[in-house]
């Protein structure tokens, strides 16, 4: 048996990151580029994608922007599925509207599920088609600790992330013969543009911190190593699992 460790490097690979204009998506794109991948930045806003691309180029990496609404099957097919090659997908685009279950509107229900579930499905399907046509690959779905537990005022979000965890397991089993690994990274509350307004409520912030044994919120960079690891050859035997980056939240 060889004693050589598989590489964490992604040199020569092409990675696609959705929601790459800010937050975890932007961090993932920067980390993948630093690990050697050429990155396709996917999002709905040209300006934010351009900012991420500039940051990658400044650090010596390679990236291009692809404006695409991942909830639109035609755009996903014309954009992502039309790429000549995909080795890594970070399926990150998502949203949340925290509100009491009894007050959730059908509009909010549809918006969250359209992005967090349908959009994730469409992008994974498009990327997998390219991977099957190529040499396999790695799909990393960005889930949440809320894909493993419940929490007040997160009914639709929890539902969507539990769905993503189930999709991940199904795809891992079905796509393994084609050389495609599928996993999730499931962070705790991280400080991002999406979550920042939530933490302006001091009582909510204190409540969340009380649930995290490590005693702090995640930073974007805390999640990046998990994404690069699952994308890389170092995780060659890992599929169908969820890597919780939750500071111990789900260990209670």
Residue 72 domain flag = yes
Residue 217 domain flag = no
Tokens of 28: 């993932």
Range of the domain at 89: 14-190+223-245
Tokens of 194: 């999406």
Active site residues: 157, 161
- In sign, the C-alpha dihedral spanning 143, 105, 192, 189 is negative
Residue 77 domain flag = yes
Residue 234 domain flag = yes
Tokens of 35: 């690990």
Domains contained in the chain, number: 1
Burial label, 94 (beta-carbon count in 10 A; 0-12, 13-18, 19+): buried
Q: SS3 letters for 65-86?
A: EEECCCCCHHHHHHHCCCCCCC
Residue 108 domain flag = yes
- The CATH number given to whatever domain includes residue 80 is 3.40.50.720
Residue among 32, 35, 34 at smallest CA distance from 15 = 32
pLDDT values of the chain reduced to their tens digit, one per residue, 252 residues: 455 678 999 999 999 999 999 999 999 999 999 999 999 999 999 999 999 999 999 999 999 999 999 999 999 999 999 999 999 999 999 999 999 999 999 999 999 999 999 999 999 999 999 999 999 999 999 999 999 999 999 999 999 999 999 999 999 999 999 999 999 999 999 988 878 888 999 999 999 999 999 999 999 999 999 999 999 999 999 999 999 999 999 999
């Amino acid at each position: 048996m060889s004693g050589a460790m598989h590489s964490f490097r992604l040199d020569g690979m092409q990675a696609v990151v959705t929601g790459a204009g800010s937050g975890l998506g932007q961090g993932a794109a920067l980390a993948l580029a630093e690990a050697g991948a050429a990155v396709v930045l996917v999002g709905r806003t040209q300006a934010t994608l351009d900012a991420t691309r500039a940051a990658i180029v400044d650090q010596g990496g390679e990236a291009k922007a692809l404006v695409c609404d991942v909830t639109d099957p035609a755009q996903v097919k014309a954009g992502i599925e039309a790429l000549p090659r995909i080795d890594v997908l970070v399926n990150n685009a998502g949203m949340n509207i925290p509100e009491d279950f009894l007050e959730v509107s059908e509009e909010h229900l549809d918006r969250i599920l359209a992005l967090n579930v349908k959009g994730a499905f469409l992008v994974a399907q498009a990327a997998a088609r390219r991977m099957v046509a190529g040499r396999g690959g790695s799909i990393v779905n960005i889930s949440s600790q809320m894909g493993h537990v419940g929490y007040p005022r997160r009914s639709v979000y929890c539902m969507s992330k539990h769905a993503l965890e189930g999709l991940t397991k199904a795809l891992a089993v079905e796509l393994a013969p084609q050389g495609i690994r599928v996993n999730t990274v499931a962070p705790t509350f991280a400080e991002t543009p999406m979550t920042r307004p939530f933490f302006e409520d001091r009582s909510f912030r204190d409540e969340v911190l009380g649930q995290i044994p490590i005693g702090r919120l995640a930073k974007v960079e805390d999640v990046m190593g998990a994404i690069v690891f699952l994308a890389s050859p170092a995780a060659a035997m890992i599929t169908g699992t969820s890597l919780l980056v939750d500071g111990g939240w789900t260990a209670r």
